[in-house]
């Protein structure tokens, strides 16, 4: 901005750093915050702080949670013999929306991507291997996105855990290749879970 209202510029700059928000939108959002009732702005600021402070990884599945265990791991009705491995917490939300899966999840928090210096050690893969130590788990569904990095990650995990004697499956093709799992429509995703195939 070309005239100095520091507090406003700082707020706009903070919005501009968010993904998909340019300078004009950031300015518009900053003005919108200024016109909010005080309580609402306060609630917004608190929501940011609380999300950062309260949310941590579930000790079992590495998904995000604000209680001791995530709601899926804590739910006694879920089928503990199947684990669906995804790359991000948003993928869990996408799959839960299909209501077509009743097992547990495991969140890797990324995919293997040598160009970005992300190797297997940066992902929650060892936590997955630990979970397979007991005999309860019969099947692992690899539900990474069907991209080069997603496929590489799935292949790496398949090779690693097949010797442990669990069935390893991959989501059926049906998801448009090259797209992001998070944005697949619910029907496609539901079909993909139904038609998963052994690696």
Residues whose CB is less than 8 angstroms from the CB of residue 118 and which lie 6 or more positions away in sequence, other chains included = 110, 111, 112
158 near a second copy, judged by CB under 8 A: no
Contact 144, 108 (CB under 8 A): yes
Tell me the window of 10-18, 124-132, 135-143, 147-155 that interacts with a second copy (CB under 8 A): 10-18
Per-residue x/- track, 69-88, a second copy (CB under 8 A): -xxx---------------x
* Nearer to a second copy (CB atom), residue 31 or residue 173: 31
Residue 78 structure tokens: 């879920």
**What does the DSSP assignment read for 15-44?**
HHTSTT--HHHHHHHHHHHHHS-HHHHHHH
Pairwise CA distance, residues 86 & 110, whole Å: 9
19 near a second copy, judged by CB under 8 A: yes
Grouping H, G, I as helix, E, B as strand and the rest as coil, residue 98 is helix
* Nearer to a second copy (CB atom), residue 164 or residue 179: 179
Q: Sort residue 69 into left (φ over 0), alpha (ψ -120 to 50) or beta.
A: beta
Pairwise CA distance, residues 187 & 191, whole Å: 6
Per-residue x/- track, 93-132, a second copy (CB under 8 A): x--xx-x---------------------------------
Tell me the window of 16-24, 76-84, 143-151, 168-176 that interacts with a second copy (CB under 8 A): 16-24
Tell me the window of 7-15, 136-144, 145-153, 162-170 that interacts with a second copy (CB under 8 A): 7-15
146 near a second copy, judged by CB under 8 A: no
Of 25, 113, 152, 188, which one interacts with a second copy (CB under 8 A)? 25
Residue whose C-alpha is closest to residue 104's, from 62, 135, 144: 62
Encode 89-112: b = buried (16+ Cβ within 10 Å), e = exposed: bebbebbeebeebebbbbbbbbbb
* Nearer to a second copy (CB atom), residue 16 or residue 196: 16
Tell me the window of 2-10, 136-144, 163-171, 189-197 that interacts with a second copy (CB under 8 A): 2-10
- Strand 56-57, strand 167-170: pairing: unpaired
By the criterion CB under 8 A, which residues form the site for a second copy?
1-8, 10-11, 13-14, 17-20, 24-25, 27-34, 36, 38, 40-52, 54-55, 64-66, 70-72, 88-90, 92-93, 96-97, 99, 183
């Amino acid at each position: 901005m070309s005239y100095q209202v520091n507090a406003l510029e700082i707020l706009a700059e903070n919005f501009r750093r968010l993904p998909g928000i340019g300078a004009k939108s950031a300015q518009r959002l900053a003005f919108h915050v200024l016109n909010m009732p005080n309580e609402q702005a306060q609630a917004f600021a608190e929501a940011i702080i609380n999300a950062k402070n309260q949310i941590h990884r579930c000790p079992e599945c590495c998904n995000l949670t604000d209680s001791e265990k995530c709601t899926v791991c804590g739910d006694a009705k879920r089928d503990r013999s199947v684990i669906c491995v995804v790359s991000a917490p948003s993928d869990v939300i996408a799959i839960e929306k299909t209501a077509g899966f009743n097992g547990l999840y495991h969140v890797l928090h990324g995919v293997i991507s040598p160009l970005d210096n992300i190797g297997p050690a940066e992902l929650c893969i060892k936590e997955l291997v630990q979970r397979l130590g007991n005999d309860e788990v019969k099947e692992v569904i690899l539900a990474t996105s069907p991209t080069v990095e997603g496929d590489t990650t799935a292949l790496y995990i398949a090779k690693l855990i097949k010797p442990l004697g669990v069935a390893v499956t991959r989501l059926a093709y049906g998801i448009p290749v090259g797209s992001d799992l998070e944005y697949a429509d619910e029907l496609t995703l539901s079909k993909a879970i139904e038609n998963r195939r052994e690696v």
